[in-house]
Amino acid sequence: MRVLGIDCGSERTGYGVIESDGRAHSILAAGTIRTNPAHTFGARLAVIARGLRDVITANGPEEAAVEEVFHAANAKSALKLAHVRGVALLALAENEIPYAEYSPLTVKQSVVGHGRAEKEQVQFMVRMLLGDRVPVKEPDACDALAVAVCHAARRSWTVKVVAS
Protein backbone atom coordinates (compact mmCIF):
# COMPACT_ATOMS: atom_id res chain seq x y z
CA MET A 1 0.00 0.00 0.00
CA ARG A 2 1.36 3.41 -0.98
CA VAL A 3 0.45 6.04 1.62
CA LEU A 4 0.79 9.83 1.50
CA GLY A 5 1.13 11.55 4.89
CA ILE A 6 0.47 15.29 5.13
CA ASP A 7 1.49 17.65 7.96
CA CYS A 8 -0.33 20.91 7.23
CA GLY A 9 1.10 24.36 7.84
CA SER A 10 0.57 27.72 6.16
CA GLU A 11 4.31 28.42 5.81
CA ARG A 12 5.54 24.82 5.54
CA THR A 13 3.42 21.80 4.64
CA GLY A 14 5.25 18.53 5.02
CA TYR A 15 4.58 15.47 2.89
CA GLY A 16 5.85 11.93 3.05
CA VAL A 17 5.09 8.95 0.84
CA ILE A 18 5.76 5.43 2.04
CA GLU A 19 5.22 1.91 0.78
CA SER A 20 3.94 -0.35 3.54
CA ASP A 21 2.40 -3.73 4.23
CA GLY A 22 1.30 -2.48 7.66
CA ARG A 23 4.40 -3.73 9.46
CA ALA A 24 7.38 -2.95 7.22
CA HIS A 25 7.64 0.52 5.71
CA SER A 26 9.93 2.11 3.14
CA ILE A 27 10.22 5.76 2.23
CA LEU A 28 9.51 6.77 -1.37
CA ALA A 29 9.47 10.56 -1.10
CA ALA A 30 9.44 13.30 1.51
CA GLY A 31 9.79 17.02 1.57
CA THR A 32 8.31 20.37 2.45
CA ILE A 33 6.13 22.69 0.39
CA ARG A 34 7.25 26.18 1.42
CA THR A 35 5.27 29.37 0.97
CA ASN A 36 6.33 32.97 1.14
CA PRO A 37 4.83 34.73 4.19
CA ALA A 38 4.96 38.02 2.25
CA HIS A 39 2.40 36.70 -0.26
CA THR A 40 -1.35 36.82 0.29
CA PHE A 41 -2.84 33.89 2.16
CA GLY A 42 -4.81 32.88 -0.93
CA ALA A 43 -1.63 32.78 -3.01
CA ARG A 44 0.04 30.65 -0.35
CA LEU A 45 -2.89 28.20 -0.38
CA ALA A 46 -2.52 27.95 -4.17
CA VAL A 47 1.19 27.08 -3.80
CA ILE A 48 0.31 24.34 -1.29
CA ALA A 49 -2.43 22.96 -3.56
CA ARG A 50 -0.08 22.85 -6.58
CA GLY A 51 2.64 21.24 -4.51
CA LEU A 52 0.34 18.51 -3.18
CA ARG A 53 -1.05 17.85 -6.66
CA ASP A 54 2.53 17.45 -7.94
CA VAL A 55 3.38 15.03 -5.11
CA ILE A 56 0.25 13.00 -5.85
CA THR A 57 0.99 12.89 -9.59
CA ALA A 58 4.63 11.91 -9.05
CA ASN A 59 4.00 9.22 -6.42
CA GLY A 60 0.52 7.79 -7.04
CA PRO A 61 -0.55 7.19 -3.43
CA GLU A 62 -3.42 4.74 -2.92
CA GLU A 63 -4.44 6.25 0.42
CA ALA A 64 -3.56 9.30 2.48
CA ALA A 65 -3.48 10.51 6.06
CA VAL A 66 -3.75 14.06 7.35
CA GLU A 67 -3.02 15.32 10.83
CA GLU A 68 -6.10 16.78 12.53
CA VAL A 69 -6.25 20.39 13.70
CA PHE A 70 -4.96 20.61 17.24
CA HIS A 71 -6.40 23.09 19.69
CA ALA A 72 -4.13 26.08 19.32
CA ALA A 73 -3.94 28.87 21.86
CA ASN A 74 -4.18 31.31 18.96
CA ALA A 75 -7.55 31.06 17.16
CA LYS A 76 -6.19 32.86 14.08
CA SER A 77 -3.44 30.23 13.69
CA ALA A 78 -5.94 27.40 14.10
CA LEU A 79 -8.17 28.92 11.44
CA LYS A 80 -5.27 29.23 8.97
CA LEU A 81 -4.33 25.62 9.66
CA ALA A 82 -7.92 24.58 8.97
CA HIS A 83 -7.78 26.36 5.60
CA VAL A 84 -4.58 24.50 4.68
CA ARG A 85 -6.20 21.21 5.70
CA GLY A 86 -9.13 22.07 3.44
CA VAL A 87 -6.75 22.54 0.51
CA ALA A 88 -5.10 19.19 1.31
CA LEU A 89 -8.46 17.39 1.51
CA LEU A 90 -9.52 19.01 -1.78
CA ALA A 91 -6.34 17.78 -3.53
CA LEU A 92 -7.06 14.27 -2.23
CA ALA A 93 -10.72 14.44 -3.32
CA GLU A 94 -9.76 15.69 -6.80
CA ASN A 95 -7.61 12.57 -7.17
CA GLU A 96 -10.17 10.26 -5.51
CA ILE A 97 -7.69 9.22 -2.83
CA PRO A 98 -9.30 7.77 0.32
CA TYR A 99 -7.95 9.36 3.49
CA ALA A 100 -7.99 9.21 7.25
CA GLU A 101 -7.36 11.88 9.88
CA TYR A 102 -5.30 11.41 13.04
CA SER A 103 -4.73 13.53 16.10
CA PRO A 104 -1.13 14.38 17.02
CA LEU A 105 -1.61 12.18 20.11
CA THR A 106 -2.59 9.17 17.97
CA VAL A 107 0.35 9.70 15.61
CA LYS A 108 2.78 9.80 18.52
CA GLN A 109 1.23 6.70 20.12
CA SER A 110 1.50 4.79 16.84
CA VAL A 111 5.08 5.76 16.10
CA VAL A 112 6.69 6.11 19.53
CA GLY A 113 4.38 4.15 21.82
CA HIS A 114 3.08 7.01 23.92
CA GLY A 115 1.11 10.13 23.06
CA ARG A 116 3.23 12.63 24.97
CA ALA A 117 6.43 11.96 23.02
CA GLU A 118 8.71 14.87 22.21
CA LYS A 119 9.35 15.87 18.60
CA GLU A 120 12.89 14.46 18.77
CA GLN A 121 11.55 11.07 19.88
CA VAL A 122 9.15 10.99 16.94
CA GLN A 123 11.97 11.88 14.54
CA PHE A 124 14.20 9.17 16.03
CA MET A 125 11.51 6.49 15.69
CA VAL A 126 10.59 7.54 12.15
CA ARG A 127 14.25 7.22 11.22
CA MET A 128 14.43 3.80 12.92
CA LEU A 129 11.36 2.63 10.98
CA LEU A 130 12.25 4.13 7.60
CA GLY A 131 16.03 4.37 7.53
CA ASP A 132 18.59 7.02 6.72
CA ARG A 133 16.64 8.70 3.90
CA VAL A 134 14.35 10.40 6.43
CA PRO A 135 14.91 14.18 6.17
CA VAL A 136 15.35 14.85 9.90
CA LYS A 137 16.47 18.40 9.14
CA GLU A 138 12.98 18.99 7.71
CA PRO A 139 10.72 18.51 10.74
CA ASP A 140 7.52 18.99 8.75
CA ALA A 141 8.48 16.23 6.28
CA CYS A 142 9.45 13.98 9.17
CA ASP A 143 6.09 14.65 10.85
CA ALA A 144 4.30 13.83 7.58
CA LEU A 145 6.16 10.52 7.41
CA ALA A 146 5.04 9.80 10.98
CA VAL A 147 1.42 10.44 9.91
CA ALA A 148 1.87 8.04 6.98
CA VAL A 149 3.36 5.34 9.25
CA CYS A 150 0.50 5.83 11.72
CA HIS A 151 -2.00 5.31 8.92
CA ALA A 152 -0.24 2.24 7.56
CA ALA A 153 -0.39 0.65 11.01
CA ARG A 154 -4.06 1.60 11.65
CA ARG A 155 -5.58 1.76 8.16
CA SER A 156 -8.00 -1.15 8.32
CA TRP A 157 -10.56 0.77 10.36
CA THR A 158 -9.96 4.46 9.65
CA VAL A 159 -10.18 5.08 5.89
CA LYS A 160 -12.80 7.53 4.62
CA VAL A 161 -13.73 6.75 1.04
CA VAL A 162 -13.97 9.81 -1.17
CA ALA A 163 -17.27 9.95 -3.06
CA SER A 164 -16.92 10.52 -6.79
Q: Active-site positions?
A: 7, 67, 140
Q: What is the length of the chain?
A: 164
What is the b/e burial string over 96-109, where b = at least 16 CB atoms within 10 angstroms of the residue's CB?
ebbbbbbebebbbb
Q: Return all residues near 91 (Cβ < 8 A) that are at least 6 apart.
A: 49, 52, 53, 56
Q: How far apart are CA 151 and CA 102, in angstroms?
A: 8
Q: Which amino acid is at 139?
A: P
Q: 96 phi and psi, to 5 degrees?
A: 55, 45
- Note whether 17 and 2 are within 8 A (CB): yes
Name the burial class of residue 24, with classes exposed (0-12), middle (13-18) and buried (19+) by CB atoms within 10 angstroms of its CB: exposed
- Note whether 122 and 132 are within 8 A (CB): no
Beta bridge partners of 32: 14
